[in-house]
Amino acid sequence: MPPEAGAASVPGGEAAHFRALESLYNEAPINRLFRSQLEIVEPGRARIRFEIGEETFHAAGAAHGTLYFKMMDDAAFYACNSMVSDRFLLTTAFNLVFTRPLRTGPVVAEGRWISGRRRVFVGEARLLTPDGEEAGRGTGTFMRSHIPLSSLAGYRPR
């Protein structure tokens, strides 16, 4: 499914919009704390690869829920924002379920757009370990903001 309003308004079209969202993600200051790499796979699908280190552990020796939320929210958010090329979306709610503790090593957050095309979007995400086990699942709602993507310094269509 093609992005909502404005793919034609992004120089280079859909692929340029996806690369610009990836650039926006890379430029976010929070990602200096959580090293990760976003890939917009196709319209409505995003993947974030990251490595869990002991610096993200809680007192019982597994990744803190902050990491689960951040990566699932980002994956679902970017999956939804890949459908919108003119405005930045905002998370309005996010529900998550922890299904397995995460320890050191690589993890992938997979996000996908579920519904919505105008003002409110629904997306879901899950965290997968290298052996394919699900460690968490979440669903979020995202609302179109008044912030033009083109006004954000990190959003650079190529």
pLDDT tens, position by position, 103-155 = 999 999 999 999 999 999 999 999 999 999 999 999 999 999 999 999 999 99
Between CA 101 and CA 57 the distance in angstroms is 10
pLDDT band at 2 (very low <50, low <70, confident <90, very high): very low
157 contacts 137 by C-beta, under 8 angstroms: no
Domain ranges for the chain: 7-151
Question: What CATH number has the domain spanning 7-151?
Answer: 3.10.129.10
Which amino acid belongs to residue 142? Answer: F
Q: What is the CB neighbour count within 10 angstroms for residue 104?
A: 14
Percent of the chain exceeding pLDDT 70 equals 93
* Cα 81 to Cα 53, 58, 87, 111, 145, distances in angstroms: 28, 31, 8, 11, 11
Q: Please tell me the pTM assigned to this model.
A: 0.92
Handedness of CA 67, 70, 72, 75 (dihedral sign): negative
